[in-house]
Amino acid sequence: MSEHSSSTARFAKMMVVAKDEWRYWLRSKLAISVLAIGLILTLSSVVVTAINTMELSHTRHALQEDAEQTFADQPDRHPHRMVHYGHYAFRAPSPLSVLDPGVDAYTGNSIFLEGHRQNSAMFADQKQGTALTQLGSLTPAFILQTLAPLLLILIGYSSVSRERESQTLTYLLSQGTSGFTLIAGKGLALMSVIGLILVPVAISALFSLHEGESITAIVGFVLGYALYLTVWALLVLLCSSALSKNSESFTALALTWILLCVVMPRVASSTAITTVPAAGKLETDFAVAAEMRKLGDGHNANDPAFAQIKASLLEKYNVDSIDQLPVNYRGVIAMTSEAKLTQVLNEFAEKRMQTELAQTDVSRDFGWLSPMVAIRSLSMLTAGTSIETHHKFLREAEELRFDFVQGLNKAHVEQLSYQVDMNRNKDTDSGQKARVNAQNWQVLDDFSFAVDTPSLRLQRGAPAFLQLLAWIAALIIVIRLVGKRLV
Amino acid sequence: MSYMFKQLSREWRFMLRQKYLLVLLGCAILISGFSVQSGLNEVAQQQQTIERLKAADVADRTDTQNKQDEIGMLAYYTFHLTYSPPSDLAFAALGERDIYPWKHRIKMLAIEGQIYESDTQNAELTQAGKIDFLFVISALSPLIVILLFHDLFANERSSGRHDLLVTTAKSPWALWGARGAIRFISLFLCLMLPFYVGAWVSGTSLVAVGLVSLCCFMYLAFWAILSVYWGKNANSGPKVASGLIGIWVLFAFITPILGDLAINKFVHSPKGGDIMLTQREAVNDAWDLPKEATMDAFTATYPEWKDHVAMQSMFEWKWYYAFQQVGDQIAAPISQEYRAASQKKYELAGYASLLSPPLLLQRVLTRLAETDAVAAHKYEQQVRAFHKTLRLYYYPFLFAQGEFDKGNLANLPSFDKFINKQHGVSDTDSAQTTNK
């Protein structure tokens, strides 16, 4: 009972300290302007990014439907013409990309799909950029990850050291407030600022419910940022109570911020690139081309590489020449070589994606050294704007590509006779004959890209959560030690 | 002279006794060293990639040429490597080479379908940005300068020594000047030494090193003077520093972001995807168009083949490549517009960077290192020009009838030779100034 009443008394004291801190901020011009600037920045970033993303989402859905319609509307043609005519896959942005666009601006968000090759995603927004936003862009993620900690430092660096410098600390302590209660009270005040910063973000995140985002992902996302900013509040409290002067506390915090928020993320990515070198697409293209020459050119049914297929086909249908086959030999060759080629292409693509993941893992491990790296990964992972989502898009687009190309090849095999096909270039009439009905262009599956399930995304974010929690635990332990010795 | 030296050596000893200054300087040299090191690594990787690609390119072409005999097939399957090697200053300013492609494989098909192929690195790492020397100088060093200089006066005032120091010093310059100079020189050297080592390793020309040094000196001096000026009457160091960091945030983030928003609103650019769409539609439509339609459009550009456009069969390679050319012609206006828009954006970004010293420095140094959008644009022009020489090489064989003799492949254009020739003709003056 007495323990309970002492803990409520302690909490009441913490509240008094927190309220006092707020009173100090409201009186101080610096703190109030920092707070105002912080809120304005967060709000405007939320609004600007939301408008951009909504535009993008709508255009991409419309573009996808357009592309499907255009494909289906093509006239009767030789099926292989449609293989080269190709199709597009568009990646609609994930709902939470409103708050963290992640890699979206760098990957490009549409892919041209055609026979015989895997194109890279094209037209990343950055290429048509002004190069002005290299240091940071007006996204809520950037504001929260980089600038919000600075804001906490600017208003909190003197929270305890100020009391010491103005000699009110000994007074407070001798009044029966324990060192830890004092620090906790100041912490409470900082936490209320964090809450204030997170309000617009949380509201904007809730709006993405409407776009089909799950509440779990939203909670995970906002919680991640709350943990991250808590790390900073703790760092501020630690420096402010461990160092004896305001100026020392400030310098230490500023330097910490520079190292953790500005230097570390870049050190992480530079280290990742140099420790896990990745062959570019061009290099794998050469390797693929070499493999392909072994497989034979699917356009040329006389390629000696196909002799075996020919023999087994003749045997299967028990005929002497390819003219007598009930199926179109050219079509069969196109179909088989597309399948083999795709296998090779997928092997290389998979290897490349694994390398990229290995690189990303190296850079994410820096989250143990910098909470900023941890929240960066966590934020992109839960928002579904990380490299994994891009890879998912590449894989699904490839599936779409393979399906429609083979669908067309099937029409080539079954609906176009070999003789007609061979005579296609003889004159206009035979050219007209060597076509299949436009009905066959319905081979396209409806493509609509969705990010991974919330549980999978959160599962991927688990290490980053752990990193943040480890930071918090370590800081609380150190602060308790410092709090005991506070004089 | 010895008087000045005495002042400086006193301040030097004073600085050595202040631990936090030493920590700051230590961080500066460590970070700068790391950035130069990773810049050198990155450039070495780029060069190795180019070497590997060159070897693969030759092997690939030889294979293809052994396998194919027909001129149309040869043109269809023969790729040509194009690339833009990193300059000897690129290690210090990696610039936008991770956004703009600097290597391509080009063949005789429509160039508009090939030039936008991007071979970029891991997007998540690109998004985080790399740490290069330029980043350390333009974004980080102002913060270190602020931490070093903001409390020049405030520190002495708050410890109550200010008035005593001022009255005992011979002149304000002997005291504050010497103190500032020592801090400035130490920081400058800590930041620049790794760069000088890097420049020596990669054989950067002295002119470039001199220019970079000058730019960095002016930039650091700007921040130092601003910091001293801002804090000249203040009592509280942290307040001065807060204001200065506010200015830094304004220059490094806010102005550029606003500039970016304004420029993107102001300049209308066609969508990149539309270029490819136009080109592809043109090429695909050509299969169903009367052959004359394609050939007429083709001979409008190349009238010399007017008498060779008649076709014997429904499919001939010359027609195939003619409609590739026509596809480019149809997509040309929108492609021009796209490039004009990005040039316009670059130009306007120049004005915007006048309001932001960090960006101004980035712009100047990436220009020097040839790692900016201008260099990327120049490379794109080279690729386009090279593609044209490929066409000019193949058209006579495609259009003039007769068997193709594979001996002619010896004269096949190569990007290496093409670049050397271009440099030999037009860049002699600039080569003289930039070559070491």
**What is the predicted pLDDT for the residue at B401?**
67
pLDDT tens digits for range B227-237? 989 888 777 77
Q: Output the CA–CA distances (angstroms, integers) from residue A95 to A56, A100, A378, in the order listed.
A: 11, 10, 16
Helix (H), strand (E), coil (C) string for B309-321: CCCCCCCCHHHHH
Write the residue in A103, A132, A266 that is nearest to B123 by C-beta.
A103
Instruction: Give the best residue of A130, A145, A250 to mutate against chain B (max B CB count within 10 A).
Output: A130
CB contact under 8 A, A255 and B45: no
Binary contact (B27, A255; C-beta < 8 A): yes
As to burial, measured by CB atoms within 10 angstroms (0-12 exposed, 13-18 middle, 19+ buried), residue A366 is buried
Residue A94 C-alpha from the chain's centroid: 9
- The 10s digit of each residue's pLDDT in B128-161 is 888 899 999 999 999 999 998 887 777 777 777 7
Percent of chain A's residues with pLDDT above 90: 34
Query: Under a CB-based contact definition with an 8 Å cutoff, are residues B141 and B24 in contact?
Result: no
Task: Tell me how far the alpha carbon of residue B24 is from its chain's centroid.
Answer: 30
User: Does B163 contact A at CB distance below 8 Å?
Assistant: no
- Cα–Cα distance between A95 and A57 in angstroms, integer? 9
Asked if B271 reaches chain A (Cβ–Cβ under 8 Å), the answer is yes
CA quadruple B297, B298, B304, B305: dihedral, nearest 10: -110
DSSP class of residue B403 equals P
* ipTM reported for the complex, 2 dp: 0.85
- The alpha carbon of residue B361 is apart from the nearest alpha carbon of chain A, in Å, by 12
Residues 176-235 (B) with a CB less than 8 A from some CB of A: none
pLDDT over 60 at B366, yes or no: yes
Binary contact (B122, A290; C-beta < 8 A): no
* B201: confidence class by pLDDT, cuts 50, 70, 90: very high
- As a whole number, mean pLDDT of residues A198-219 equals 88
How confident is residue A28, by pLDDT bands cut at 50, 70 and 90?
confident
Q: How many angstroms away from the CA of B68 is the closest CA of chain A?
A: 11
pLDDT of residue B269: 84
Q: Are the Cβ atoms of B272 and A84 closer than 8 angstroms?
A: no
- Is B63's CB within 8 Å of A293's CB? yes
Question: Which of A282, A356, A376 faces B105 most closely, judged by CB atoms?
Answer: A282
Residue A156: give the domain boundaries. Answer: 2-128+137-484
The predicted-structure confidence for B49-66, as pLDDT tens digits, reads as follows: 999 999 999 998 998 888
**Partner residue facing A269 (CB), from B125, B237, B373:** B125
Q: Tens digits of per-residue pLDDT, A220-273?
A: 999 999 999 999 999 999 999 998 888 889 989 999 999 999 999 999 999 998
Confidence at residue A126, expressed as pLDDT on a 0 to 100 scale: 60
Q: Do B314 and A376 touch (CB under 8 A)?
A: no
Minimal CA separation from B325 to chain A, in Å: 17
- Give B325-335 pLDDT, tens digit per residue: 999 999 999 99
CA distance B219 to B192: 13
Give the pLDDT band (50/70/90) at residue A1.
very low
Q: Among the listed ranges A350-359, B177-186, B355-364, which one has the minimum average pLDDT value?
A: B177-186
| pLDDT value of residue A361 | 95
Band the pLDDT of B424: cuts 50, 70, 90: low
Q: Indicate if the pLDDT at residue B110 is higher than 70.
A: yes
Which residues in chain B are closer than 8 Å to A423, comparing Cβ atoms?
A: none
pLDDT band at B167 (very low <50, low <70, confident <90, very high): confident
Please check the confidence at residue B432 and state whether its pLDDT lies above 80: no
B178 to chain A nearest CA, in Å? 22
Q: Which residue of A has its CA nearest to B66?
A: A293
| pLDDT at A40 exceeding the cut of 90 | no
Q: For residue B425, what pLDDT is reported? A: 53
pLDDT tops 60 at residue B98: yes
d(CA B171, CA B179): 12
Contact indicator for B359, A132 with CB cutoff of 8 Å: yes
Residues of chain A in contact with residue B137, where contact means CB-CB under 8 angstroms, are none
- Residue B404, pLDDT > 90, answer no
Average pLDDT for chain B: 87
Percent of chain B with pLDDT strictly greater than 70: 96
| Spatial separation of the C-alpha atoms in residues B180 and B164, rounded to whole Å | 18
Instruction: Write the burial class of residue B409 (CB in 10 Å: 0-12 exposed, 13-18 middle, 19+ buried).
Output: middle
Q: Residue A52's closest chain B neighbor by CA?
A: B261
Contact A106 B127 (CB under 8 A): yes
Rounded Cα distance between B92 and B199, Å, is 8
Predicted local distance difference test score (pLDDT) of residue A359:
95
Region B10-33: mean pLDDT is: 87
- Find the closest chain A residue to B275 by CA distance: A123
Name which of B185, B166, B167 is nearest B176 in CA terms: B166
* Whether A262 and B139 lie within 8 Å, measured CB to CB: yes
- Diameter over CA atoms, chain B: 102
Confidence of residue A127 (pLDDT cuts 50, 70, 90): low
Phi, psi at A118, each rounded to 5°: -110, 110
> How much is the average pLDDT of B308-321?
86
* Model confidence at A434: pLDDT above 90: no
Q: Is B63 on the interface with A (CB under 8 A)?
A: yes
Give the DSSP H or E segment for B82.
Answer: strand B80-83
pLDDT value of position B427: 46
Residue B431's pLDDT is what? 40
User: In angstroms, rounded to a whole number, what is the distance separating the alpha carbons of residues B94 and B365?
Assistant: 10
What's the gap in Å between the CA of A472 and the closest CA on chain B? 24
How many domains, in total, are found in chain A? 1
**Contact assignment for A286 to B241 by CB distance below 8 Å:** no
Query: Across residues B248-262, what is the average pLDDT?
Result: 88
Strands (E), B88-185: 103-106
Q: Is the pLDDT of residue A3 over 60?
A: no
**Which of A126, A270, A360 lies nearest to residue B99, judging by beta carbons?**
A126
What is the chain B residue with the closest CA to A279? B49
pLDDT digits (tens, 9 = 90+) for B263-275: 988 888 887 778 8
